[in-house]
C-alpha cells in the first residue's frame, strides 16, 4: 500500500521536479507541466462510479496516450480507474491504497517521462537504464 509520502519521495527524486499546490492540493510538475496530482473524487465522480467508487486516496497520473490509458485500465481495474471527467484525456486515476510502491514508482516515472522535455528525459534514461 502506497502513501502520499511515497508519491512525494518518488516524484521529487526525479530531475527538475517541484511540488506545487493546485486547487489547494499537492501536485508534482516537471518544468511546470503536471504529471501526478492528488485527485479527490467529486460528487459527479461518485454518481458516475456508484458503488465502485473507492473510499481511499486517489492519485491522478498523466499517461503517454489513450492507448496506454486503456491498457492500464484493462490490466488492473482494482488499481486503475477513470471517470467521465477524464474521457478523451491521457490520464488515469490510481487507488493509492491498492498499489505497491514498486508499481507506483513505475507509473510516476512514466508520467514524468511523458511530460519532461525530451533532452531531460533522454538524459534521465541514459543514467537510469
Spans of the chain below 50 pLDDT: none
Cβ-Cβ contacts under 8 Å for 17 (sequence gap 6 or more)? 11, 28, 29, 30, 112
- The confidence score (pLDDT) of residue 65 equals 97
Of 64, 111, 62, 120, nearest to 91 (Cα)? 62
Instruction: Quote the pLDDT of residue 23.
Output: 86
pLDDT at 105: 98
Is the pTM higher than 0.85? The answer reads yes
Domain segments of the chain as ranges: 4-128
Kindly report the number of other CB atoms within 10 A of residue 106's CB atom: 13
Q: What are phi and psi of 112, to 5 degrees?
A: -60, -45
Sign of CA dihedral 33, 37, 43, 46: positive
Query: How many residues does the structure list for the chain?
Result: 129
Q: In what order do the strands lie in the sheet with 17-22?
A: 17-22, 25-30, 33-38, 58-62, 91-95, 80-81
State which CATH number among 3.50.50.60, 3.40.50.300, 3.90.1150.30, 3.40.50.800 fits the domain covering 4-128: 3.90.1150.30
Amino acid at each position: 500500500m502506497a502513501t502520499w509520502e511515497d508519491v512525494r519521495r518518488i516524484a521529487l527524486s526525479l530531475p527538475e521536479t517541484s511540488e506545487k499546490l493546485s486547487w489547494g492540493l499537492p501536485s508534482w510538475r516537471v518544468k511546470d507541466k503536471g504529471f501526478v496530482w492528488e485527485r479527490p473524487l467529486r460528487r459527479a465522480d461518485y454518481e458516475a462510479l456508484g458503488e465502485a467508487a473507492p473510499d481511499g486516496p486517489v492519485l491522478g497520473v498523466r499517461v503517454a496516450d489513450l492507448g496506454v490509458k486503456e491498457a492500464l485500465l484493462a490490466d488492473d481495474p482494482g488499481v486503475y480507474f477513470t471517470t467521465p471527467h477524464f474521457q478523451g484525456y491521457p490520464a488515469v486515476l490510481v487507488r493509492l491504497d491498492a498499489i505497491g510502491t514498486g508499481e507506483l514508482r513505475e507509473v510516476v516515472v512514466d508520467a514524468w517521462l511523458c511530460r519532461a522535455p525530451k533532452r531531460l528525459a533522454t538524459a534521465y534514461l541514459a543514467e537510469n537504464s
